């Protein structure tokens, strides 16, 4: 089978590897689609390291080819599945506390994380989330990032009828907007690029904002002078976090969703937090429960994922794929492994 292995920063190679055979509790999956997420871009650039060589890719979906003998599972060959490729041990404090997104062993030595840039992968059956027949894998592979956004909005305790501000209309911002609409919120999306604002409107955003004008100033009229209930910052810009905190109502919530390349002090006046009772907190990853909800939304077509797909490439075209995935005018670039 063909797969992409990263041997060092910017040293990505297409190699031939043996196709594994599943044991009890395992499934062999033929991967058909895999997204190139920010995590893969950081691994490729060297900004993040796990070990070398590594097969990147964790936004993957495909078709079950074989299930290990004796496995206790409803999975069968031919099932379309989304794959949870960020390892969860199920035994550490965090996993047993319902916070598997903080699993202490996600990247422990001896664990094979990721692996989606490959024609086949052998995974535990618990890592496979089945979709209804007929759902394209190019959409099913969005279950992982959508699950992260569902986790983010749950952390913010978003309620039906509330106002949600999403700052940044990249792939994660747009997925927040889709999830927020399904949760019954009125959605505001801010982004400096007009093309992304227009796409947010196509996906159902109620209002779009140009951050060239202070967000608080733009939000006062449509929110009756209060500000939004929840603000999620998906743009990795420190100043935006402060502006979002000023744009929520008293008692509102602000989520720092994005990862930042540099460390910085929280740019919010402590007295403002004290007097307004605004909560600011971080969020990372997702749990199995979030993943299951994301799969159901995609499987029952309650969210339309297809407008987020910017381009698809074969594994052999990895140079062009990685270059395009890092461009700000793209949303999500996928590897189409069906024809590799």
Of residues 272 and 166, the one with the higher pLDDT is: 166
pLDDT exceeding 70 applies to what percent of the chain? 99
pLDDT digits over 239-270, tens only?
Answer: 888 899 899 999 999 999 987 767 777 777 88
Q: Which long-range contacts (CB under 8 A, 24 or more apart) does 20-24 make?
A: 20/120, 20/121, 20/122, 21/66, 21/122, 22/66, 22/67, 22/68, 22/71, 22/122, 23/68, 24/68, 24/69, 24/70, 24/71
For residue 339, pLDDT over 80 is answered with no
How high is the pLDDT of residue 340? 55
276, 250 in Cβ contact below 8 A?
Answer: yes
Of 281, 287, 288, the residue nearest 257 (C-alpha): 281
228, 252 in Cβ contact below 8 A?
Answer: yes
Interval 274-291 mean pLDDT: 93
How high is the pLDDT of residue 163? 98
Q: Which backbone phi and psi does 122 adopt, to 5 degrees?
A: -105, 125
Interval 71-98 mean pLDDT: 95
188, 205 in Cβ contact below 8 A?
Answer: yes
Interval 35-61 mean pLDDT: 93
pLDDT interval class at 76 (50, 70, 90): very high
How high is the pLDDT of residue 239? 82
pLDDT digits over 306-335, tens only?
Answer: 999 999 999 999 999 999 999 988 999 999
DSSP conformational letter for 319: H
Of 66, 179, 164, 168, the residue nearest 123 (C-alpha): 66
Residue 291 token pair = 């993943």
| Vertex 244: Cα angle to 243 and 248 (nearest 5) | 120
Under CATH, to which class is 2-145+286-339 assigned?
alpha beta
What's the Cα-to-Cα distance from 236 to each of 12, 15, 42, 155, 338, rounded to whole Å? 26, 34, 14, 19, 34
How high is the pLDDT of residue 288? 95
How high is the pLDDT of residue 330? 92
142, 332 in Cβ contact below 8 A?
Answer: yes
How high is the pLDDT of residue 264? 72
| Second CATH level (architecture) for the domain 157-282 | 3-Layer(aba) Sandwich (3.40)
Element (H, E) at 253: strand 248-256
Give residues with Cβ within 8 angstroms of 317, minimum separation 6: none
How high is the pLDDT of residue 83? 97
pTM: 0.94
Note if the bond before 44 is cis, omega within 30 degrees: no
- pLDDT, mean over the chain: 93
Tell me the domain boundaries of the chain. 2-145+286-339, 157-282
pLDDT digits over 188-217, tens only?
Answer: 999 999 999 999 999 999 999 999 999 999
Of residues 51 and 32, the one with the higher pLDDT is: 32
pLDDT digits over 144-185, tens only?
Answer: 999 999 999 999 999 999 999 999 999 999 999 999 999 999
> Which among 4-18, 38-52, 99-113 has the top mean pLDDT?
4-18
pLDDT interval class at 236 (50, 70, 90): confident
Integer Cα distance of 143 and 104 in angstroms:
23
Residue 196 token pair = 């992304």
How high is the pLDDT of residue 12? 96
Interval 220-244 mean pLDDT: 92
Residue 9 token pair = 């920063």
Q: Can you spell out the DSSP letters for 22-85?
A: --TTEEEEEEEEEE--HHHHHHHHTSS---SSB----EEEEEEEEE-TT--SS--TT-EEEEE-
CATH topology identical between 2-145+286-339 and 157-282: no
How high is the pLDDT of residue 237? 78
């Amino acid at each position: 089978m063909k797969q992409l292995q990263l041997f060092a920063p910017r040293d990505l190679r297409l190699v031939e590897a043996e196709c594994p055979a599943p044991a009890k509790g395992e499934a062999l999956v033929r991967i058909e689609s895999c997204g190139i997420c920010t995590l893969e871009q950081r691994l490729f650039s060297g900004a993040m390291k796990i070990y070398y060589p590594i097969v990147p890719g964790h936004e993957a979906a495909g078709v079950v080819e074989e299930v290990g003998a004796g496995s206790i599972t409803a999975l069968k060959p031919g099932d379309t599945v989304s794959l949870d490729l960020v390892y969860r041990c199920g035994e550490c404090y965090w996993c047993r506390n319902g916070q598997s997104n903080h699993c202490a062993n996600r990247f422990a030595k001896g664990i094979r994380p990721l692996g989606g840039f490959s024609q086949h992968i052998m995974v535990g059956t618990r890592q496979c989330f089945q979709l209804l027949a007929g759902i394209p894998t190019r959409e099913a592979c969005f279950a992982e990032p959508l699950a992260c956004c569902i986790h983010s909005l749950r952390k913010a305790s978003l309620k039906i009828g509330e106002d949600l501000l999403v700052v940044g209309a990249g792939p994660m911002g747009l997925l927040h907007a889709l999830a927020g609409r399904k949760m019954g919120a009125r959605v505001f999306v801010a982004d400096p690029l007009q093309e992304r604002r227009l796409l947010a409107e196509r996906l159902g955003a109620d209002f779009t904002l140009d951050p060239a004008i202070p967000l608080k100033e733009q939000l006062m009229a449509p929110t009756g002078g209060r500000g939004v209930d929840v603000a999620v910052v998906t743009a990795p810009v420190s100043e935006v976090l402060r502006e979002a905190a000023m744009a929520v109502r008293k008692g509102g919530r602000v989520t720092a969703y994005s990862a930042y390349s540099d460390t910085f002090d929280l740019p919010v006046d402590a007295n403002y937090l004290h007097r307004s009772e605004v909560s600011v907190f971080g969020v990372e990853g997702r749990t199995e429960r979030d993943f299951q909800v994301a799969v159901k939304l995609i499987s029952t077509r309650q969210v339309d994922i297809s407008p987020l797909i910017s381009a698809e490439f074969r594994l052999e075209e990895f140079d062009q794929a990685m270059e395009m995935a890092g461009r700000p005018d793209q949303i999500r670039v996928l590897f189409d492994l069906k024809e590799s």
